[in-house]
Amino acid sequence: MKAESSVTCELRLRLLVAGDAALPVPAALRYDLADPYAIHATFHAAGDTVEWVFARDLLAAGLRDDAGLGDVRVWPSSEAGVQVVYISLSSPEGEALLEAPAPELSTFLDRTYATVPAGSESMHLDIDAALTQLIAES
């Protein structure tokens, strides 16, 4: 049986804003064998589409404890008995604090690790293609 070439997940996150308010943010997460160390996230908010790329291990670590430095930080919490994960994003354009449902994020990550087990990511890299692309871009 051939492994999936990508794993996707649709989530409804909450964008936390001043005054304890929150806005719904539909998000799509994608894990692709072509980029085995990364999770690609697409957020849809206020008519805009924003894309970020996270280290898969960073999101996994953030399910258990504080993880990340700088532009992306992730940590678990329990709000009114519900397990959530906070994702803090920072860029020159602004900052955002998102709340994700921990069980759904965990299930998605489990599926990615079933596709490419931890520690075997390098076996899925196409170094020749990456070098060709790098040379073409320079």
- The pLDDT assigned to 136 comes to 81
Q: State the pTM of this model.
A: 0.82
As given in the structure block, the two tokens for residue 138 are 């320079």
Q: What is the pLDDT of residues 61-116, one digit of tens each?
A: 999 999 998 899 999 999 788 999 999 999 888 889 999 999 999 999 999 999 88
Asked if pLDDT for residue 125 goes beyond 80, the answer is no
**Complete edge-to-edge strand list for the sheet that includes strand 82-91:** 48-55, 38-45, 21-32, 6-17, 94-101, 82-91, 72-79
Sign of the Cα torsion 118, 119, 121, 123 reads negative
> Which domains, ranges and CATH numbers included, belong to the chain?
6-137 (2.30.31.20)
How is 110-125 classified by DSSP, letter by letter? HHHHHHS-TT-GGGG-
**Sign of torsion over alpha carbons 107, 122, 136, 5:** negative
Asked if 66 and 51 count as a contact pair (C-beta separation under 8 A), the reply is: no
Predicted confidence band of residue 9 (pLDDT cuts 50, 70, 90): very high
